[in-house]
A and B are shown apart, each in its own frame.
Chain A
Amino acid sequence: MPSKRSLLTGAHFMNGDVACAEGAIAAGCRFFAGYPITPATEIAEHLSQRMPEFGGIYIQMEDEIASMAAVLGASYAGLKAMTATSGPGFSLMQENIGLAVMTETPCVIVDIMRGGPSTGQPTLPGQQDVMQARWGSHGDYATVALAPSSVQEMFDLTLEAFNLAETYRVPAMLLGDEIVAHMYEKLVIPPPDKLRIVNRKRPNVPREEYMPFKPDEDLVPPMACFGEGYHFHATGLTHDERGYPQTSSSEAQQKLVTRLCNKIRKNEDKIIRVEETMLDDADVAVVAYGIVARSALSAVRKAREKGIKAGLLRLITLWPFPEKRVAQLAEQTKAIVVPEMNCGQMVLEVERKAKETPVAFLSKLGEEPHTPLEILEEIRRNS
């Protein structure tokens, strides 16, 4: 149960970065390792101030590689742990994100997306890291990524990311963007009894029988932490259920990597969250996420005023991708419009499921997201 000091129940006016930091605290995060980078720095700054108030740890590392590695260590030591960064730092973290996948280490990575590639436009928004969140580290894996589109969601979804990380033992990602991170809005932090907080499954077998990577039915193995008396071996090498390296066994590779993918795939109905607006009778569906979804909502409403049956599917979970829902929508609608602040990323997923239904992509890069009128125009063209 969070203490009064750690959970600031009540209404606040704050920016998205600070809301994200408070969401982490509410989720029980007591370890943050990070490195300054615009537009995510405020998360680190806020936690450097807040963590000491209730015995949490803020540690500034020498770079993002180190930040991610420290988070893995802290999670295995038993704390809920998080880091926050933006594009260039997210790139540096990828190897250790893969290690988190392989060692099934629950942790949260916040990536406040700015314009890329490279240093790009540090103070402007982007949605260019959404595929990197899915495929950024080498090898096959599946993980979870959430896309907040308000300050409230920066809080709610950070907490949710911790719950998913702890439930499925994965590095869960929160993909915010510079606007959501820097804008100020009302945030309501609920009382402790209204928060749903999930903690990792602990082993319930005698110590000598514990197999650190033997999954339960949900494909997730219970997790012991350092110093709890369980013997375990965690490695980035392909391993068996004991955790011992199996570097020349095809069977071990097949079994482990398939399970790492399946523990998300087979549980996707429990994980996926979308928000639907006026889709029941829609002829044109807009699929959007993050800050762009707010323009899209306005565009859909304006379209209805003009007699066009438009609706919005807002992706809250980007990964796993809600493919079933998109496939259903494709059957029902005449066209799908996908506005994104990149050169075409999630639209590829939509196209994959839309089959014959035309998909119109609307790209926008730079300072501002799509205006409602720009999206409306695209809806009209496709209605």
Chain B
Amino acid sequence: MAISEGKFTTKDIAEKPDLFLSGHRACAGCAPATVLRLIMKATRGPTIVTNATGCMEVASTIYPYTSWAAPWLHTAFETAGANASGIETALKILRKKGRIKDEQVDVIAFAGDGGTFDIGIQALSGAVERGHDFLYVLYDNEAYMNTGIQRSGGTPLGAFTTTSQAGSAVPGKLENKKPIAEIMVAHDMPYVATAAPYYWKDLIVKARKGIEVNGPAFLHAFAPCPRGWRSDPAKSIELSRLAVETCIFPLWEAVNGEHQLSTPSKVIALAPQKKKPVKEYLQVQGRFRHLFTPKYEKILDEIQRFTDERWNRLLKRCGMTPPAKTA
């Protein structure tokens, strides 16, 4: 799937004015803020943004300031998909009646993992089923960070949160992360992709594809949160790279349901020795610290096994052969 204009060179991106401005109140090392800024670099013209309740809604609009140089609407936690549906449909009708010029106005909905995996999935699913033309961006920092680090359907197995405690009785979260992007592919929607901010160009190009595609598009953006992950704020972007290199968060797109690996993950598929063990990713985050004690070591193996399993399934979907099992 080619994009219609621009190549998004470093120069192009640098020259394009920001629509998500600096001065917001996000924490040091906040990857979701980076993700938003990059995605707003991908717009092609007039764009309306709707934002579900969450860190980015709060941090970007502390009264009396705003970081948004685009029309922006805060919607309730559970309704990013529904709110975008309303905006897009109204634009369509206004255009049809000649009340607005016949120019393209794009709609982007931003929501976090709580607002997407959990409370917002009904509105998202409905919007996609009805086929509204909009881009939904999930910025996934893997817990409810806005209310102070509670587990969500996007929190991975073994992670400590304040409602999936790591102690003598419970080893952090007991459940695996929901495969949200695959759930969206199962909607038979035109465009689904995963992205990570270390691979910034890949992320921008995917956002642009999602904007240009006719119909709903879903972008799952991986977004480390140093506060919640108990990680070094200087390492957030590196963490997003490690998640890809360990295949915890592979990069791919599915155009009309056809999966295809993106280059950083394709490199690993073609040269499996480049695949890093999950430990390298887990050990630099305080939220997994308890897994490196004898009591809970087994969960590390479980995470590795589960990561391999999902990766191999993805390879099959992409028409590639998973490596032969070694005994």
* A complexed with B: yes
Q: Which A residues form the contact surface with B (CB < 8 A)?
A: 35-38, 41, 44-45, 48-49, 52-53, 58, 60, 62-63, 88, 92, 118-119
Given contacts A63-B118, A119-B74, contact A49 B150 (CB under 8 A): no
Q: What residue of chain A has the Cβ atom nearest to residue B169's Cβ?
A: A52
- Interface bracket on B: 20 to 34
Q: Measured between C-beta atoms, what is the minimum distance from A42 to chain B in Å?
A: 9
- Give 1 or 0 for each of B164-176: 1 = CB within 8 Å of chain A CB: 1101011000000
Chain A residues positioned under 8 Å from B53 (CB to CB):
88, 119
The DSSP consensus for interface residues of chain B is loop
Instruction: Give the CA-CA distance A63 to B147 in the complex, in Å.
Output: 14
User: Is B144 interfacial (CB 8 A cutoff)?
Assistant: yes
Alpha-carbon distance between A118 and B77 when the two chains are bound, in angstroms: 10
Q: Which residue of B lies closest to A39 (CB)?
A: B147
- Quick check: B165 and A41 within 8 Å, CB to CB? no
Judged by a CB distance under 8 angstroms, whether B78 is at the interface is yes
B263 smallest CB distance to A (angstroms): 35
Q: List 17 A-B contacts (CB under 8 A).
A: A35-B119, A36-B144, A36-B147, A37-B147, A41-B150, A41-B162, A45-B148, A48-B163, A48-B164, A48-B165, A52-B169, A53-B169, A62-B118, A62-B119, A92-B78, A119-B53, A119-B74
B41 at the interface (CB under 8 A from A): no
| Contact between chains at B162 and A45 (CB < 8 Å) | yes
Contacts of B169 in A (CB 8 A): 52-53
Give Cα A329 to B117, complex, Å: 53
User: What B residues does A37 contact at CB under 8 A?
Assistant: 147
CB-nearest residue of chain A relative to B151? Answer: A60
Cβ–Cβ contact B148 & A41, under 8 A:
yes
Report B225 CB to chain A, min CB distance, Å. 15
Q: Bound complex: CA of A375 vs CA of B257, how far in Å? A: 65
Q: A45 — which chain B residues lie within 8 A by C-beta?
A: 148, 150, 162-163
The residues in B between 154 and 204 inclusive whose CB is less than 8 angstroms from any CB of A are 162-165, 167, 169-170
Bound together, the chains give a CA A137 to CA B121 distance in angstroms of 24
A143 and B78 CA atoms in complex are apart in Å by: 28
- CB atoms of A38 and B147 under 8 A apart: yes
Residue of B78, B148, B162, B165 touching A63 (CB-CB under 8 A)? B78
The answer to whether A118 and B76 touch (CB under 8 A), given A36-B147, A53-B169, A60-B150, is yes
Of A48, A92, A118, A119, which contacts B162 at CB under 8 A?
A48
User: How close is B157's CB to chain A, nearest CB, in angstroms?
Assistant: 15
CA of A41 to CA of B148 in the docked complex: distance in angstroms? 8
A119–B150 touching, CB < 8 Å: no
A58/B76 contact (C-beta < 8 A), A41-B147, A41-B150, A45-B150 known? no
**Known contacts A48-B163, A60-B163; A119 and B153 CB within 8 A of each other:** no
Q: Evaluate whether A44 and B150 lie within 8 angstroms (CB atoms) in the complex, with A52-B169, A52-B170 already known.
A: yes
18 extra A-B contacts, CB within 8 A, seeds A38-B147, A41-B147, A48-B164? A36-B147, A36-B148, A36-B150, A36-B163, A37-B147, A41-B162, A44-B150, A45-B148, A45-B162, A48-B162, A48-B165, A49-B167, A52-B169, A62-B117, A62-B118, A63-B77, A92-B78, A118-B76
Chain A's closest residue to B122 (CB) is A63
